[in-house]
Amino acid sequence: MQLAVKETEPAVEAVSHRKMIEIDDLSLVFQTNDGPVHALSDINLTIRQGDFVSFIGPSGCGKTTLLRVIADLERQTAGSIKVDGTSPEDARKNRLYGYVFQAPALLPWRTIAKNCAVPMEISGQSAAHQTSQIDKYLTMVGLQDFHQKYPWQLSGGMQQRASIARALCIEPELMLMDEPFGALDEITRDHMNMELLKIWEQTKKTVVFVTHSIAEAVLLSTHIVVMSPRPGRITKVIESPLPKLKTLALRDTEAFHQLAAEIRAALADEHAID
Amino acid sequence: MQLAVKETEPAVEAVSHRKMIEIDDLSLVFQTNDGPVHALSDINLTIRQGDFVSFIGPSGCGKTTLLRVIADLERQTAGSIKVDGTSPEDARKNRLYGYVFQAPALLPWRTIAKNCAVPMEISGQSAAHQTSQIDKYLTMVGLQDFHQKYPWQLSGGMQQRASIARALCIEPELMLMDEPFGALDEITRDHMNMELLKIWEQTKKTVVFVTHSIAEAVLLSTHIVVMSPRPGRITKVIESPLPKLKTLALRDTEAFHQLAAEIRAALADEHAID
Amino acid sequence: MQTPLHHRSWFAVLSTVIAVIAIWYLAALWLNGQQLIKTYERKNQSWQLTDIVQQAYAVKRPMLPPPHQVVQEWVKTVFQTKPSSKRSLVFHTIVTLQSTLLGFALGTVLGILIAVGIVHNRTLESSFMPWVIASQTIPILAIAPIIVVVLGAMSITGIFPKAVIAMYLSFFPVTIGMVKGLRSADRLHMELMQTYFASSSQLFWKVRWYSAQPYLFASLKIAIASALVGAIVAELPTGSQGGLGARLLSGSYYGQTVQIWSALLMASLLGASLVFCVSVLEKLMLRKRGYQA
Amino acid sequence: ADQLTLQLKWVTQAQFAGYYVALEKGFYEDEGIDLTIKPGGPDIAPAQVLAGGGADVIVDWMPSALATREKGLGMVNIGQIYGKSGMMLTCLKSSGIASPEDFGGKTLGVWFFGNEYPFLSWMSKLGYETNGGDGVTVLKQGFNVDPIFQGQADCVSTMTYNEYGQVLDGGLTPDELILFKYEDEGVATLEDGLYVMEDTLEDPAKVDAYAKFLKASIAGWEWAKENPEEAAMIVLEYDDTGAQTEDHQVRMMTEVAKLLSASDKGIGYLEPEAYQRTVDVLLSSDSAPVITKEPEGAYTHVVFDAAMAL
Amino acid sequence: MKSTLLTALSVLIVLVQVGASLTLSEGFMTAAPAWWLLLIFFVASATRLMNEMTRWLDAQPNANRLFKLVVPGLFAVVLLTIWQTLTRGYSVPSVLLPAPSDIVLALFNNGPVLWADFKQTFLKAVLAGYVIGCVSGFIVAQLAVKSRFLELGLVPLGNFVSAIPIVGIAPIMVMWFGFDWPSKAAVIVVMTFFPMFINTLTGLQSVDALHKDLMHTYAAKSAQKFTTTQLPQALPYIFNALKINATLALIGAIVAEFFGTPIVGMGFRISTEVGRMNMDMVWATIVVAALAGSISYGALALLERRLLFWHASVRNAQP
Ligand SMILES: Nc1ncnc2c1ncn2[C@@H]1O[C@H](COP(=O)(O)OP(=O)(O)OP(=O)(O)O)[C@@H](O)[C@H]1O
Ligand SMILES: Nc1ncnc2c1ncn2[C@@H]1O[C@H](COP(=O)(O)OP(=O)(O)OP(=O)(O)O)[C@@H](O)[C@H]1O
Ligand SMILES: Cc1ncc(C[n+]2csc(CCO)c2C)c(N)n1
Ligand SMILES: [Mg+2]
Ligand SMILES: [Mg+2]
């Protein structure tokens, strides 16, 4: 299956909002000892302000790499990308986005609260503002009693939640999240999903979200980008027909199952056990 | 909700099979710097030969700990446990069980095939037997082309599959599996689930399985043990009404959804985000 | 993408070496020049700057011999002298090399044995480990002559007393690294072995030994450099039996600065090549277990 | 043959030419002695080697031998090779020193490791403090005479046969220097002598071996005195460091020859008066005394007499 | 019950042997070789006591730190007692090896001399050289981590220099910097510079790739990167160098004193007193040096535990 995205208008689109991310014919090749790895190939994608876009696809299809290109952690080898109308580098320097990594990446020598403070310290926020933000978001992720603990005193899931709180504290325009809930159990994950939806609905921020879970992608997204490996490319972009205001109950609806089935089919198309 | 398991007969039961694991009033308290942690409290559970039992519950509820007690990697602080009629220590010395850890735990200085050989080397199997077992089970998990690769040349999911093959190679009476498929993407996971079911159905081994995923628990198990944290305890044991011979298509049946909903309710009952 | 010139390894190393040599020449001019001026003044002779610059690089007993003087002496004693001659630096290098290698071998074995003992026996750890550390705070030079004399009294002479001192310095990094390495075995791997009911020797040979290897090699590089220091230090009190230490000593005894420097140059070449050999061994060993270089 | 080991006080050099000559020329062999010579070094204390059994005979200076004897190690002089002291203090005229009275406030380089006793006695006799204060500043001189070239010291210790030559080689001329020989200052003590453990003298077989050894050594010294150039070459043969030069060793041999004992009984005889003079010098220092009481039985002529009788 | 009795017996045997070694007359082992029996029982008893003490301490996670010194202390008592027994029992000449009791006496009788030596060698030369060497190694590592050029040039040089037996430069330093402590400090500076440089550089570069990315996403300035991630990450390596250097520094100073000193200092004392056959004084000086070294090392290790409480090596350390 060849990607049919370029020919038509970019599929990810929401009415009357400005373009947040514009990717044109973007490719990225890693040079390694074993020869070049085509991590991303001919990516075309537009994400508008207020969208909630999920990347889904098998391991190694380039989801993380694409997110890193947006965050200016990696540079494309061909094609172009604009973030909020500027280069990714300028967007980063303007502190436009918050990034949640696949691993918690907490500093082991700082308490949870002090870890959350790092980005605010760096952008020079007042101490009072720092404390109130930390209180707010640590409570939101259910870690209100763990301010003074060190990362290694928490379970993996709790660490991951702390890292989400850290990204939320600076309330960025754009949230880039790389499988943020991979380490959580289903119930906590449901809870975190709903919290994330709440924040997104309230603030109308843009979210780019990487996940392995079809259910999660369906539950959260306005647009689902299905990717495929070797070389990493977009095989399909699905716009969600579900209402913007979502609840967990949605999961038992026909529309939900249908969308899930559509994604599963798109994934299975390209998938063979490696 | 108090556990109603003790009063009635142990709920996990299959007709006419001998008891594989018997746990009575078992508790386990970890002494830590911050005071005692009640990881397991008053656990009562019987698992019979041929059962496929899943432990499900939120992070930190003691699933791993309970599995470790069975494997003699941890010792209870109160109560008693018998494995195959003997103490866990004797069961371990008899090499009764195979254990799949939450992480792949492959030795980075051995190739995949050599890693699978470790338990057989230790129990002194012949080289020819080793090779044939390794061939068989690496093929089963889809790694037939990766015998001579080193662990770090494989993706996380492939590593986890290798570790499953390693446990299967010794064809133990009892398989203890701690979230073995957590690191896999959904499609591969489905595939592995079906392979596991196939092996279990063919060999009639006993499996104790820890998972975060309700769907996985429903798909695989004859019995589902729902656990709850602080202190870690069993809140419900559900016997699956589904047929023993399962297929992926089962997931779209009413019975499946009903069981999943029952588990979700049992989990939610005790669950508040910590 | 092209790496800019100043980010090329060879360029950076070359520039550094050139800078070092340039500074060396300047310093030689400064130090030897001052000495010359002092001599002129003592003799009440007048002098010109050009005289100083001319002579500063050819002083017989320089404060700092310029590089070419050192290299000349080095070439003379290495290539233009029969290696069997006692005037050949090669001869002395071999003397030192022998006690270094013997001491290094002894130290490695001893260090590994102590580490294995410490890791397997709690009492040994709690009673012995602090003294292993304290042993290194004893100034080795102080006990070097004592060791030489005591071993000499037991009619153990030749390279062995020197090797003992080399061993004394080199076992320590090995012990420390090895203990750390044996302990650094992944807990999960250890538990895995426990589920297989592996014996402690199986545990050692299948897991611990491998987890210790990277630490062991890092330590061996330090240990072989320490063994060389030990061998040289041990040659100071027994000053007249040959070796690079004896060269340093006799150079100092007769005010032969150039001889000191060329012995030092030889010692650094020897040290660097010994460390290099260990890293080659390390690469081979690690490649055998599948790591890429 | 009798096996004997001789421990030298310092590295292989013409200072010990007699022993090497005797070894090379087979004098020891002729006497039926199988001799091993152990060279010394900066931190080898011959007395310690003797006590540990690493050597049967050692070359040592009398001040340190007597001091060691007072510590309870019974070592005895069985023959005195050097009759005169070669030690001196070499000073720069430009430092303003003209006589020992000018030492006050000056910096003097001195050898330690048991070689400092004559110096300490001398300073004590002159009334100088050596531990700072208003006396002299003492440096532990390394192995060479650099301090005088680098202006770190006003005077350095030298031996007539060794370091003095180095001072001259280094570019200083005799007229820039002023020398204070210990012999001339009346503080000379006996230098290279041969010592053994006292209890071994009770064994006649040992005494016999010592006597043969002494006889051969004396012969070696006499030969060396007559043939300084060949003797120097023999020493060079035995030098393992390869650092000694021919010029230097010939000069050393020539100077050493002037110090060999000149008593009527020949090289190797310890003159009781010379011994007594040394003891008096050492006893005379009141601060930091080297020895506190008259030593007894610190030397014997038994071996020398036996050697002459062979 | 039986084990308590055995323990009591062990304590008794240890005490008897210690007492015997101190009070019996010279040469008692030569006279009555039967004393060997007691010595063997003594070693066995002490081993038993150490075993029990270790087991007891391991079961007592909250025991006072000081208690942990008991076992190594006992080990030292064993070694010293054997030493004392053999030197006195066979009347080994003190010129060769003095008995521990003689060394202790020398320690007490020569307080002022030992203190003056300590001041000269440790408080002046070692401290000055150590501080200058470590600080400059640290600073140059900062420069190297910022400039790829410097890093490429200096690291091979550093590796080369750290293979040089630096003691060899001692005579040169004495020639350049004179006889007093500055020349010793100079040797120490050169000896300690490179371990600190290489370790700090490795530490600064060992920053987790993820943490580096994180700082990048925050568009942190390089000073902020330094204090938030690089410095804490480098601390374990820096402490490593500090500890290595603590042992190197003392050796360096004493070796350098071999080539010329004023007439004070620990290296001077050792070599002079060997020449004077005062071996008790030699060993007393060695004891002072070893104490100074061990205490510095211990203090650094304690500080390390304090500052690196978060690091796996400290958290996983045996109790
Ligand atoms: N720094 C790198 N150097 C070389 N190859 C790389 C690098 N980073 C990623 N790759 C390769 O690029 C491809 C895409 O990797 P990426 O991490 O984006 O996958 P992913 O979709 O995030 O997978 P996962 O779901 O496992 O996280 C993979 O084949 C990977 O091996
Ligand atoms: N060695 C230990 N020392 C102290 N506490 C421990 C230890 N191991 C586990 N615990 C605690 O015991 C509780 C149960 O842990 P366990 O690992 O069994 O949870 P789990 O159900 O497997 O969680 P997850 O789904 O995150 O793997 C947790 O609160 C944990 O912090
Ligand atoms: C530490 C030391 N001691 C002595 C000398 C000088 N020296 C050279 S030969 C000689 C006579 C001894 O046999 C003496 C004293 C020195 N340079 N260094
Ligand atoms: Mg990824
Ligand atoms: Mg778990």
pLDDT of residue C272: 87
In angstroms, rounded to a whole number, what is the distance separating the alpha carbons of residues C66 and C56?
Answer: 9
On whether residue C172 sits in a domain, the answer given is yes
B16: buried, middle or exposed (CB in 10 Å: 19+, 13-18, 0-12)? Answer: exposed
Pairwise pLDDT comparison (D168 vs D42), residue with the higher score: D168
Q: Looking at the structure, tell me whether residues C122 and C51 fall in a common domain.
A: no
pLDDT of residue A274: 43
**ipTM for the predicted complex:** 0.80
* D60-118 pLDDT per residue, tens: 998 889 888 888 888 999 989 888 888 998 998 888 888 888 888 888 888 888 788 88
Q: How many domains does chain B have?
A: 1
Closest residue, chain B, to C208 (C-alpha)? B107
Q: What is the mean pLDDT of residues D120-146?
A: 79
On whether residue C238 sits in a domain, the answer given is yes
The amino acid at residue E104 is V
Query: Which of E211, E213, E224 is nearest residue A107 as measured by Cβ atoms?
Result: E211
Taking the CA of residue E271 as reference, the ligand 3 atom at the shortest distance is 1
* B237-254 pLDDT per residue, tens: 999 888 877 777 777 788
Proportion of chain D above pLDDT 70, given as a percent: 96
A60 touches chain B (CB under 8 A): yes
pLDDT of residue C150: 77
Q: Is the pLDDT of residue E313 over 80?
A: no
Q: Looking at the structure, tell me whether residues C210 and C270 fall in a common domain.
A: yes
Q: How confident is the model at residue A130 (pLDDT cuts 50, 70, 90)?
A: very high
Decide: B240 and B222 in contact? Cβ < 8 Å: yes
Q: How confident is the model at residue B207 (pLDDT cuts 50, 70, 90)?
A: very high
Phi-psi region of A142 (alpha: psi -120 to 50; beta: other; left: phi over 0): left
Q: Is the pLDDT of residue B159 over 80?
A: yes
Q: How confident is the model at residue A89 (pLDDT cuts 50, 70, 90)?
A: very high
Chain D meets chain C (3+ C-beta pairs below 8 A):
yes
pLDDT of residue C239: 54
Find the ligand nearest to D15 CA: 3
Q: What is the mean pLDDT of residues A167-185?
A: 87
* E181-223 pLDDT per residue, tens: 898 999 999 888 888 888 888 888 878 888 888 888 888 888 8
Structural domain for C200, as ranges: 89-289
Q: How many CA atoms, within 13 angstroms, populate the side-chain half-sphere of residue A17?
A: 18
On whether residue A154 sits in a domain, the answer given is yes
pLDDT of residue B206: 92
Q: Is the pLDDT of residue B160 over 70?
A: yes
In angstroms, rounded to a whole number, what is the distance separating the alpha carbons of residues D122 and E11?
Answer: 56
pLDDT of residue C137: 79
Domain E109-317 fold is: MetI-like fold (1.10.3720)
For residue E33, the 8-state DSSP code is T
Nearest chain A Cα distance for residue B126, angstroms: 30
Q: Looking at the structure, tell me whether residues C142 and C57 fall in a common domain.
A: no
Q: What mean pLDDT, rounded, does chain E reach?
A: 84
Q: What is the mean pLDDT of residues D38-56?
A: 83
On whether residue C77 sits in a domain, the answer given is no
pLDDT of residue C291: 59
Long-range contacts of B251-255, Cβ-Cβ distance < 8 Å, separation of 24 or more:
B251/B215, B251/B219
In order of A34, A36, A169, B146, B153, the CA distances from B150 in angstroms are 15, 20, 41, 8, 5
On whether residue A162 sits in a domain, the answer given is yes
| CATH number assigned to the domain comprising residue C132 | 1.10.3720.10
pLDDT of residue E134: 93
In order of A27, A30, A65, B263, the CA distances from A35 in angstroms are 16, 8, 18, 49
Q: How confident is the model at residue E82 (pLDDT cuts 50, 70, 90)?
A: confident
Nearest chain A Cα distance for residue B218, angstroms: 14
CA angle at C166 for the pair C165 and C167, rounded to the nearest 5°? 90
On whether residue A263 sits in a domain, the answer given is no
Sign of CA dihedral B60, B61, B67, B68: positive
Which is nearest to D268 in space by CA: D208, D201, D221, D209? D221
* D284-303 pLDDT per residue, tens: 766 666 788 888 888 888 88
Query: Is 0.90 surpassed by the pTM of this model?
Result: no
**β pairing state of D87-92 and D75-80:** unpaired
pLDDT of residue E118: 92
On whether residue B151 sits in a domain, the answer given is yes
In this structure, the residue with its CA closest to atom 4 of ligand 1 is: A30
Q: Do E275 and D150 touch (CB under 8 A)?
A: no
On whether residue A271 sits in a domain, the answer given is no
Decide: A83 and A70 in contact? Cβ < 8 Å: yes
Phi-psi region of E129 (alpha: psi -120 to 50; beta: other; left: phi over 0): alpha
Chain E meets chain C (3+ C-beta pairs below 8 A):
yes
Structural domain for B123, as ranges: 108-171
Q: Do C197 and B111 touch (CB under 8 A)?
A: no
pLDDT of residue D174: 86
- Write out residues 93-132 of D within 8 Å (CB-CB) of C: 94
- Write out residues 106-165 of C within 8 Å (CB-CB) of D: 144-145, 148-150, 152-153, 155, 157
pLDDT of residue B10: 46
Q: What is the mean pLDDT of residues E250-264?
A: 84
Long-range contacts of A126-133, Cβ-Cβ distance < 8 Å, separation of 24 or more:
A130/A169, A133/A169, A133/A170, A133/A171
The amino acid at residue C125 is E
Q: What is the mean pLDDT of residues B46-52?
A: 91
Q: Looking at the structure, tell me whether residues C126 and C19 fall in a common domain.
A: no
* E124-143 pLDDT per residue, tens: 999 999 999 999 999 998 88
Query: Which of E208, E218, E221 is nearest residue A119 as measured by Cβ atoms?
Result: E218
Q: How many CA atoms, within 13 angstroms, populate the side-chain half-sphere of residue D181?
A: 9
Collect all residues with Cβ–Cβ distance below 8 Å to A207 and sequence separation of at least 6.
Answer: A51, A52, A53, A174, A175, A177, A196, A200, A220
* D231-262 pLDDT per residue, tens: 888 888 888 777 778 888 898 899 888 888 77
On whether residue B130 sits in a domain, the answer given is yes
In this structure, the residue with its CA closest to atom 24 of ligand 2 is: B59
* E146-194 pLDDT per residue, tens: 888 888 888 888 877 777 777 778 888 888 888 888 989 999 998 888 8
Contacts of C196 in chain B (CB under 8 A): 95, 118-119, 122-123
Token pair in block for residue C260: 């000191």
Q: What mean pLDDT, rounded, does chain D reach?
A: 85
Contacts of B107 in chain C (CB under 8 A): 189, 206-207, 210
On whether residue A210 sits in a domain, the answer given is no
In angstroms, rounded to a whole number, what is the distance separating the alpha carbons of residues A157 and D199?
Answer: 82
Collect all residues with Cβ–Cβ distance below 8 Å to E297 and sequence separation of at least 6.
Answer: C133, C137, E243, E246, E247
Backbone angles phi, psi at A27, to 5 degrees: -130, 155
In angstroms, rounded to a whole number, what is the distance separating the alpha carbons of residues D223 and D228?
Answer: 8
Decide: B148 and B195 in contact? Cβ < 8 Å: no
Q: How confident is the model at residue A9 (pLDDT cuts 50, 70, 90)?
A: very low
Q: How many domains does chain C have?
A: 2
Q: Looking at the structure, tell me whether residues C160 and C197 fall in a common domain.
A: yes
Q: Do D72 and E94 touch (CB under 8 A)?
A: yes
On whether residue B137 sits in a domain, the answer given is yes
Q: What is the mean pLDDT of residues A239-244?
A: 84
